[in-house]
Amino acid sequence: MNIVCCIKQVPDTAQVRIDPETNTLMRAGVESICNPYDLVAAECAVKIAHESKGRVTVITMGIPQAESALRECLALGADDAVLLSDRAFAGADTLATSAALSAAISRISESDPVSLVICGKQAVDGDTAQTGPGIASRLGYTLLTNVISIEKTDSSKNTMTVRRETGAGSEIIESKLPALITVELNCVEPHYPSLPELVASVRKEIPVWTAEMLNVAPGKIGLKGSPTSVKTIFAPPQRKGGPVFDCSESGAAESVRSLLKKLLKDEPGIVELAANGGKSNA
């Protein structure tokens, strides 16, 4: 089975802050990492390829430094990597990003048809979860989102069976291939690469594909192909801490008294609510 895994390099969001004056991301000195969902996607892809005697190609669209995220996935066992990097891709929104990525997948399909594309559910910086569905719709692949486990792949029947998370629980779906799945963080746990895996990943050559190498109209990619724009970005206002009540043995009685006083003052309907077992009459 020929598998493509789409990965994105993102700033380590645990370190990113928003400048309160300008409402822009303060990226200086912030480490770049492979999107955590995409490490899960790569591990999944490698497992499926191992079972189906297939191949995994990891691809990313990004700046030259995004190569390091590709190497992380090569260390997890991916066979090949491709970096899409060109000024023509810059300023892409999710529509233009998925146009470039699906054109790259079509190019990979020319030598051996791609049966499965695996994406993370979302990128931890952009967070839209639109790129995977955008690629699936362009390629005409079946889309299975929020996958929490791969139950089975059957090359002879050309199907795969996955468990998806739904709002109310989970469901198991069998789908015809080709398909695109987006994976949740708990789908598999990426392993720690061994030393030989790390060495092999560093030695691997990673080709860089430019926009001209893809069969995609210039107006569909980058800023030109992006109908949306980010107007502003801001952190939610910080909440003030609530009152703190001393629950030690000596202070407990006084704390309960002050808590009740506060509740009766701030929430006048609370006695009636408690008397009704938490059910409101309104």
- Residues forming contacts to ligand FAD in the complex (CB under 6 A) are 6-8, 35, 37-38, 41, 60-62, 90-94, 97, 101, 119-120, 122-123, 125-132, 226, 228-230
Backbone φ and ψ for 242, nearest 5 degrees, come out as -80, 175
Smallest separation, CB 54 to ligand FAD (Å):
19
One-letter amino acid of 46: V
**All residues at 6 or more sequence positions from 260 whose CB lies less than 8 Å from its CB, including other chains:** none
- Closest approach of Cβ 222 to ligand FAD, in Å? 8
How near is the Cβ of 229 to ligand FAD at its closest, in Å? 4
Positive/negative CA dihedral, 35, 180, 175, 164:
positive
Q: Give the shortest CB-83-to-ligand FAD separation in angstroms.
A: 9
Q: How many CB atoms lie within 10 A of CB 94?
A: 18
Tell me whether residue 2 or residue 60 sits nearer to ligand FAD (CB atom): 60
**CB-nearer residue toward ligand FAD: 41 or 160:** 41
Instruction: Please say which residue, 229 or 281, places its beta carbon nearer to ligand FAD.
Output: 229
CA distances from 203 to 74, 82, 177, 191, 193 (A): 10, 14, 33, 20, 15
What stretch of H or E contains 241?
none
Complex with ligand FAD: residue 63 or 259, whichever CB lies closer:
63
CB of 171 to ligand FAD, least distance (A): 21
Residue number closest to ligand FAD, CB atom: 126
Write out the two tokens for 223. Answer: 């800023």
Q: What is the dihedral of CA 25, 31, 36, 42, to 10 degrees?
A: 130
Instruction: Choose between 99 and 177: whose C-beta lies nearer to ligand FAD.
Output: 99
